[in-house]
Structure 1
Amino acid sequence: MTIRTRKFFGAIALLVLAFVWSMMGMVMAQFPVIANSGTLQWIYYIVVGMGWVLPAMPIVSWMLRPDANEPKA
């Protein structure tokens, strides 16, 4: 697979990840334990807002991997 194709599929995967992550984050934010505490909301939104980076890192590194037939410099 060429780098161009990997970037295309990776971009789609990142969009799906962001959509699913945000939907799950909104659902979990409605749990009474989180919804009733301002402090827990602060902590929750910081963790969830930055948490999507961990699953996105392997996708980005896969997207940027050089082609197998590309000569190394």
Structure 2
Amino acid sequence: MTPSWRKPAGMLAILLLILIWCVGVASLSGFVGRWHALIQLGFYLLTGIIWIAPLKPLLRWMETGRWR
């Protein structure tokens, strides 16, 4: 069985997704830093979980070649 090109491409896509997400959230830190501490906590918890949502279809594509 020959290795698929989808796995390295998918790993690079995951790393790129994480990088873009981190830069996006970090760029909001000046704005979010003025909020109350509990609201900041909620924001960072929410943004820390949301980035996982696109991973399921991406991982499925890496394994099967299909998005759905």
The interval holding the TM-score normalised by the smaller chain is 0.7 to 0.9
Q: Which letter does structure 1 place at the counterpart of 2:25?
A: G
Which secondary structure state, in structure 1, belongs to the residue aligned with residue 53 of structure 2?
Answer: helix
Which structure 1 segments of 5+ residues have no match?
67-73
Residues 29-70 of structure 1: per-residue CA shift (max 9 Å, x gap): 321xx212101110011011111101222111110116xxxx
Q: Which letter does structure 1 place at the counterpart of 2:53?
A: L
The answer for the alignment partner of 1:55 in structure 2 is 54
The answer for the alignment partner of 1:40 in structure 2 is 39
For 1:3 and 1:49, locate their aligned partners in 2 and report how far apart those are by CA, in whole Å: 32
TM-score (normalizing by structure 1): 0.76
For 2:3 and 2:63, locate their aligned partners in 1 and report how far apart those are by CA, in whole Å: 7
Question: Percent identity between the aligned chains?
Answer: 27
Q: CA RMSD in A?
A: 1.7
The answer for the alignment partner of 2:8 in structure 1 is 8
Which secondary structure state, in structure 2, belongs to the residue aligned with residue 19 of structure 1?
Answer: helix
TM-score (normalizing by structure 2): 0.81
Query: How many aligned positions are there?
Result: 63
Asked which structure has the greater CA Rg, the reply is 1
